[in-house]
């Protein structure tokens, strides 16, 4: 009797193993696509029977054609050059979101900062190192309230158009466009019914479902060491999450030295100068990557105390800050909501 029972148990286990194997074999395989976009690398892993690289790149090309100031034919380039242009839905969505974040952060985030970013040598144009008179002059062109969308109907254009208080105002959506591009690809995958994927464009990420090992996706936050070539991969912490957008902004890779002084690429639109406070990197988790991207940049401008206060008013946003400590050390601060995502913390 015992032998018969044992035999049935073994037989059941065998059927279970075979059934599991057949189910796994019937599941779509995970695919990995990569390439270059927006001057950086994209990496996309997704579970699908269908190869989607061509469709993914078409979507990314649409974002580039709309929002890249490096593309001479893009919508934003024509807006900057005051040429007639029909604004597409991508541009208007990002423009409206940018205005909203600007208002929420009291101007810490501002897509009109382009002339200052260019003047300091970090933008799509490279001028000489600016003097105080130049900065004061350029600040007259900065301010999210100096631009707006208005309905228009002329011989050249129909629909909404950008209206500037000064024709020399220029827009730069670099602090939100990568995150938005991630969201665009994520929406494509959602429309295809794909449940498990990770979209990564230059460190701006959306993760959904599970990874190829059927666990939640993991992503590391780099230690903010001076690394302009992005060689160092030392991690400060590892996060495990899904169904969220994540973005990191930092001053430890994009900077230069002049006359012995270090100049970081994050420019405060309100002062005209590179930020000098203690935050080295800000990582934000939000409902989508465009919001995370914009808030991460905002926090780098705001400084730790203001960023902490903002997060307390917006508990739907989780943030992890790495700040300069004593000597070469680091200090960290993270919101209560971030704790549930942290796998390990150093």
DSSP state of 68: -
Domain-embedded: residue 3: no
pLDDT tens profile 81-124: 999 999 999 999 999 999 999 999 999 999 999 888 888 777 55
Output the pLDDT for position 131: 83
Stretch 165-193: mean pLDDT? 96
pLDDT tens profile 306-333: 999 999 999 999 999 998 877 667 889 9
Domain-embedded: residue 328: yes
Which residue has 């020399």 as its token pair? 168
d(CA 343, CA 74): 41
Domain-embedded: residue 221: yes
Q: How far is CA 40 from CA 36, 43, 93, 174, 230, in A?
A: 6, 10, 23, 12, 11
d(CA 159, CA 174): 25
Domain-embedded: residue 192: no
Stated pTM of the model: 0.84
**Percentage of the residues of the chain whose pLDDT score is greater than 70:** 79
Domain-embedded: residue 235: yes
Output the pLDDT for position 278: 82
Q: Which domain holds residue 333?
A: 209-345
Is residue 115 within 8 Å of residue 138, measured between CB atoms? yes
Output the pLDDT for position 16: 58
Domain-embedded: residue 143: no
For residue 292, what is the enclosing H or E element?
A: helix 289-302
Is residue 114 within 8 Å of residue 127, measured between CB atoms? no
Output the pLDDT for position 246: 97
Domain-embedded: residue 190: no
Domain total for the chain? 1
Q: Please give the residue that has the higher pLDDT: either 234 or 46.
A: 46
CATH at 266:
3.10.520.10
Domain-embedded: residue 117: no
């Amino acid at each position: 009797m015992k032998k018969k029972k044992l035999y049935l148990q073994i037989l059941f286990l065998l059927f279970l193993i075979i059934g599991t194997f057949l189910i796994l074999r019937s599941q779509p395989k995970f695919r990995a696509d990569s390439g270059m976009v927006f001057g950086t690398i994209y990496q996309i892993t997704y579970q699908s029977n269908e190869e989607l690289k061509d469709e993914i790149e078409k979507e990314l090309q649409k974002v580039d054609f709309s929002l890249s100031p490096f593309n001479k034919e893009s919508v934003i380039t024509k807006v900057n050059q005051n040429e007639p242009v029909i604004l597409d839905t991508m541009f208007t969505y990002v423009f409206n979101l940018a205005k909203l974040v600007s208002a929420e952060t009291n101007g810490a985030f501002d897509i009109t900062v382009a002339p200052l970013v260019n003047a300091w040598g970090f933008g799509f144009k490279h001028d000489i190192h600016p003097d105080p008179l130049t900065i004061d002059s350029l600040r007259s062109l900065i301010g999210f309230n100096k631009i707006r969308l208005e309905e228009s109907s002329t011989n050249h254009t129909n629909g909404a158009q950008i209206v500037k208080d000064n024709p020399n105002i220029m827009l730069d959506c670099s602090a939100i466009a990568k995150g938005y591009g991630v969201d665009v690809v994520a929406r494509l995958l959602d429309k295809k019914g794909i449940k498990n994927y990770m979209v990564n464009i230059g460190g701006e990420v959306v993760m959904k479902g599970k990874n190829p090992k059927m666990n939640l996706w993991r992503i590391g936050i780099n230690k903010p060491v001076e690394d302009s070539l992005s060689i160092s991969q030392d991690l400060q912490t590892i996060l495990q999450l899904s169904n969220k957008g994540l973005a990191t902004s930092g001053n430890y890779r994009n900077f230069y030295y002049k006359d012995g002084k270090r100049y970081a690429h994050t420019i405060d639109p309100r002062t005209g100068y590179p930020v000098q406070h203690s935050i080295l990197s800000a990582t934000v988790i939000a409902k989508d990557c465009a919001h995370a991207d914009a808030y991460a940049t905002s926090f780098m401008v705001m400084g730790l105390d203001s960023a902490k206060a903002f997060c307390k008013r917006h508990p739907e946003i989780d943030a992890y800050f790495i700040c300069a400590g004593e000597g070469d050390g680091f200090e960290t601060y993270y919101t209560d909501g971030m704790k549930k995502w942290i796998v390990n913390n150093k």
